[in-house]
Amino acid sequence: MSQDEPAFDVILPRPRGFCAGVERAVQIVELALEQLHPPIYVRREIVHNRAVVERFRARGVVFVDSLDEVPAQAVCVFSAHGVAPDVRAAADARGLQVIDATCPLVTKVHVEVLRHARAGDTILLIGHEGHDEVIGTMGHARDQVRLVGDVHAALTVEVPDPQRVAYVTQTTLSVDETAGIVRALRGRFPAIEGPKTADICYATQNRQDAVKALVLEEGIELLLVVGSENSSNSQRLVEVAQSLGARGQLVDAASDVDPAWLRGVRRVGLTAGASAPEDLVQGVAARLAALGGRLSERELIPEDVTFPLPPQLAPARNRSGG
Ligand code: SF4
């Protein structure tokens, strides 16, 4: 490979990386560190990204799995994935100062679950068992929510009254991913109620649509997705590329890039899951450039969403000119 002639093109799509909910959650912890005294406790990973978690840990943030690990009266941030009401109650009982970084779109799902539960509906939650968001959402109406993980579950789930059924979805699943399950549910329960389109998270779908455009319109052969193993939306981006015939690789950081992947490849896409920070993307881009890649960006889908900060942090930030 000649030094002055790039061996391959690297195309970075927009949108990529942080969604508005993750941006807000990360800002909340930043502001808590600035305005309150460490240690700041965060229940579960604030977002599913190793680098984000490690950087905060180095600055005095303590990540815990359970509120039992948080001293009474301490500051505790709830992650972007949301929590069940019993977690809030336990935090109140311990006198914790709670700062809630639950994404407003996740809160909308919680509100829908409560509304249907009060109406006496059985709520079918389309999502992955064990995901933090799913645990929090199920906790809003444990007796009435049933988890539906795939089409088989949709075809076999039992409900007490087929006329009183609703469904909601884990936000990190795109409309495309849930389409088969929703079709199966509608086939069995014609009266089922679903969320309004406006309630569905824009970010996952946009990032997946951008990957589709990279493969189908830009002709990329290899897609690198910056994201951690436990980030389900990052994994999905890899799968979307693979389903369209491109190769896909998840990378946590620049050091994960194996030059062997690039052999014989002319066009590479570089994107990031909704929980991966842009500086990691730029690190991977720099490594690809060093390996002979010619970088360019494409605006593939317009996206301009932001969410307000919680009131206990926002005013102080405004005072400091942030
Ligand atoms: Fe919120 Fe969507 Fe981001 Fe999840 S993916 S944190 S629902 S904006």
Cα 308 to its chain centre, rounded Å, is 18
What is residue 80's DSSP assignment? Answer: T
Beta strands in the chain (DSSP E): 8-14, 40-43, 61-64, 75-78, 97-100, 122-126, 145-148, 165-169, 222-226, 247-251, 267-272, 293-299
What does the pLDDT look like over 7-57, one tens digit per residue? 899 999 999 999 999 999 999 999 999 999 789 999 999 988 989 999 999
Has 133 been annotated as catalytic? Answer: yes
Q: How confident is the model at residue 6 (pLDDT cuts 50, 70, 90)?
A: low
Element (H, E) at 232: helix 232-243
Q: How confident is the model at residue 318 (pLDDT cuts 50, 70, 90)?
A: very low
Average pLDDT rounded to a whole number, residues 218-235: 93
> For position 91, what pLDDT does the model report?
97
If phi > 0 it is left, if psi is from -120 to 50 it is alpha, else beta; for residue 15 that is beta
Beta strands in 208-308 (DSSP E): 222-226, 247-251, 267-272, 293-299
Pick the atom of ligand 1 nearest to 105's CA. Answer: 7
Please name the residue that has the structure tokens 């199966």: 184
- Structure tokens of 285? 């881009």
SS3 for 132-158 is HHHHHHHCCCCCCEEEECCHHHHHHCC
- CA-CA distance, 192 to 175, in Å (whole number)? 17
> For position 315, what pLDDT does the model report?
54
Q: How confident is the model at residue 253 (pLDDT cuts 50, 70, 90)?
A: very high
Q: What is the CA radius of gyration of the chain?
A: 21
Q: CB neighbours of 154 closer than 8 A, spacing ≥ 6?
A: 124, 148, 181, 184, 185, 188
> For position 314, what pLDDT does the model report?
66
Q: Whose CA is nearest to atom 1 of ligand 1?
A: 21
For a ligand 1 pocket test, name from 24, 137, 201, 275 the mutation site with the most ligand atoms within 8 angstroms of its C-beta.
Answer: 201
- Residues with CB under 6 Å of ligand 1 are 19-22, 80, 103, 105-106, 171-172, 201, 203-204, 274
Q: How confident is the model at residue 241 (pLDDT cuts 50, 70, 90)?
A: very high
Residue 320 CB neighbour total at 10 angstroms: 10
The Å distance, Cα 44 to ligand 1 centre, comes to 16
Average pLDDT rounded to a whole number, residues 182-189: 98
Say if pTM beats, i.e. exceeds, 0.85. Answer: yes
> For position 260, what pLDDT does the model report?
96
> Does residue 48 contact residue 228 with C-beta atoms inside 8 Å?
yes
What does the pLDDT look like over 284-303, one tens digit per residue? 999 999 999 999 999 999 99
